[in-house]
Amino acid sequence: MRRVTALVLALGGGAAAEPPARTLLLEIPNVPAAEQTSTGRFYYDGYSFERVIRMLRDTAVIRATPAEMAELKQAGYPLRVVLETTDEMRLYRRAIYGPALQLSPVYHRYDQITALAAALAVAHPQLISRLQIGETQHHRRPIYAYRVSNRAAVRQDRPRVMFNGAHHSDELLGTEIVVALMGKLVNGYGRDAEVTRWLDTLEIYLVPVVNVDGHDMVTSGRDPRWRKNLRDVNGDGVVGQFHEGVNLNRNYDFNWIMGGSPDPAKIGYRGSYPFSESENRAMRDFAADNLFVLSVSYHSSGEVIFYPWSWGGMAAPDDAIIKRIAGEIAASIPRTDGTGRYDIAPGGASSQSYAWLYGHLGIIDLIIETGKGAHVFPPEEVPGIVAANLQGVSALLGHTNGPGLAVKVTDAATGAPLVAQVWLPQIENETVDRRTTDAEFGRRWRLLEPGSHYVIISCPGYRTVVLPKAEVGPAGWTPLEIRLERE
């Protein structure tokens, strides 16, 4: 079907060496729902700022030429000229940041986040601990994670969960949700029964900003459209030229060649090879070291939860569990316009965080697309979207007590923990790597349906243990302690 927006493209009439510049910023209220769809003239796709910059609730903010504005008036659209300028960046700043042309203080810059976390650590040193997990590709800024538990100074033998934000630097809401969660957890311990239970039984890891360099591009006001990191792709020594950089959520090493774009000029540029970016390597090593039971990567926008996966018509091996968890989280998060709850959808199995974390490490990672119709939301929208998604956090953490197996594998002679394979051949298939226990405790927490499960435990140099009927109870973690004997 020909998109309705085609009429706008034709307004110049005939071939032209240069298309007319879009120097007008327009606000159009009361946009019909049909015109907000993929075939409508006010469709917001989140990847292009050439024309529709925001489509929030029923109000569109667009860039237009004088001819396009005349056409919209003729079509009967009430519109307001917000700004007219040939300064393209000023136009974008006005569209995305608002009248002040700079980001609202409702959003946090990275130095503010680290200061806030430091203050929490001073007030509650037993509850929050900072870990540097890596550094950024260009400026070599530290990437911090925060461990929150009732004994945060040390790692404990507990189920672990991760929440992260800002793989994409202009998707600021994820960072704000993680920052709000940090405060809720630390300040709520001993006061809120639910929070206290979480910190007494779990380790919760928070990575407020994955893409620290890119996040600074947006929060400092240099370029509100910035999405990627700050790699100098063309090697000219100049960074910060739109669209340079690598899309960090297309740089994971799981079917990397099938995801994103090989073109450095594209917004989905996946990098020159998998894990080429230091930000991705930081997340890779952090996840491999902790083997989280569940993980959330926050993005914007769409009000949908993507989960692993749909791959050639096949669902993920743990599809029933994953879909149930994603569905319960989505059902707990109200939409911004109050018309319902978030949706769920299987994502493709390529180059993104959830595909790599699940396919390679067995971590159930969910991409939660927060809000709808923008990447940087007006300040008045932020508290409501953050509060709604904190309800989703509660729903997710409700799944951290099983049912499933709490497998612990040790050396029979010494009691030392072993990195061993925990294979469930009746569930797993060739699309996923074998799951292992962690190095520090020899532990693997594995969410499973209640009932009997065929489990094979193996480790190089040790005799393999086969359990044809490992029973998983209807609730909680079923302990499974395996002592492997050397061959």
The pair phi, psi for residue 9, each rounded to 5°, is: -70, -25
Residue at 105 is within a domain = no
- State residue 46's pLDDT score: 83
Q: How sure is the predictor about 152, in pLDDT bands with cuts at 50, 70 and 90? A: very high
**Is pLDDT above 60 for 6?**
no
pLDDT in tens, 34-49: 999 989 999 998 888 8
How much is the mean pLDDT over the chain?
Answer: 95
pLDDT (mean) for 296-307: 97
Residue at 388 is within a domain = yes
As for how many domains the chain has, the answer is 3
Q: How sure is the predictor about 243, in pLDDT bands with cuts at 50, 70 and 90? A: confident
Do 392 and 414 belong to one domain?
no
Do 70 and 116 belong to one domain?
no
Do 245 and 305 belong to one domain?
yes
pLDDT (mean) for 83-91: 96
Residue at 469 is within a domain = yes
Nearest to 151 by CA among 206, 194, 204, 114: 204
Residue at 104 is within a domain = no
pLDDT in tens, 209-220: 999 999 999 999
Do 411 and 393 belong to one domain?
no
Residue at 150 is within a domain = yes
Give the predicted TM-score (pTM) of the model.
0.94
Nearest to 326 by CA among 447, 234, 211: 447
* Contact (Cβ atoms closer than 8 angstroms) between residue 352 and residue 299: no
Do 246 and 123 belong to one domain?
yes
Number of neighbours of residue 131 by Cβ within 10 angstroms: 16
Do 203 and 124 belong to one domain?
yes
Do 245 and 303 belong to one domain?
yes
pLDDT in tens, 404-453: 999 999 999 999 999 999 999 999 999 999 999 999 999 999 999 999 99
Residue at 181 is within a domain = yes
Helices (H), 191-332: 193-201, 212-219, 278-290, 319-331
**Is pLDDT above 80 for 18?**
no
Q: 478 has which bridge partners?
A: 405
Task: CATH number of the domain at 360, please.
Answer: 3.40.630.10
DSSP at 260: S
- State residue 98's pLDDT score: 95
Do 392 and 430 belong to one domain?
no
Residue at 274 is within a domain = yes
Q: How far is CA 189 from CA 151, 183, 266, in A?
A: 12, 10, 45
pLDDT (mean) for 275-288: 98
Q: How sure is the predictor about 17, in pLDDT bands with cuts at 50, 70 and 90? A: low
Residue at 188 is within a domain = yes
**Is pLDDT above 50 for 4?**
no
Picking from 374, 397, 420, the residue at the C-terminal end of a domain is 397
* Contact (Cβ atoms closer than 8 angstroms) between residue 393 and residue 427: no
CA separation for the pair 241, 140 (Å, rounded) = 19
DSSP at 414: T
Using CA of residue 306, residue 311, residue 317, residue 320, what is the dihedral sign? positive
Residues of the domain holding 72? 6-97
Q: Which residues contact 365 (CB under 8 A, 6 or more apart)?
A: 294, 295, 296, 297, 308, 353, 354, 357, 358
Q: How sure is the predictor about 3, in pLDDT bands with cuts at 50, 70 and 90? A: very low
Task: CATH number of the domain at 470, please.
Answer: 2.60.40.1120
Do 218 and 357 belong to one domain?
yes
* Contact (Cβ atoms closer than 8 angstroms) between residue 221 and residue 93: yes
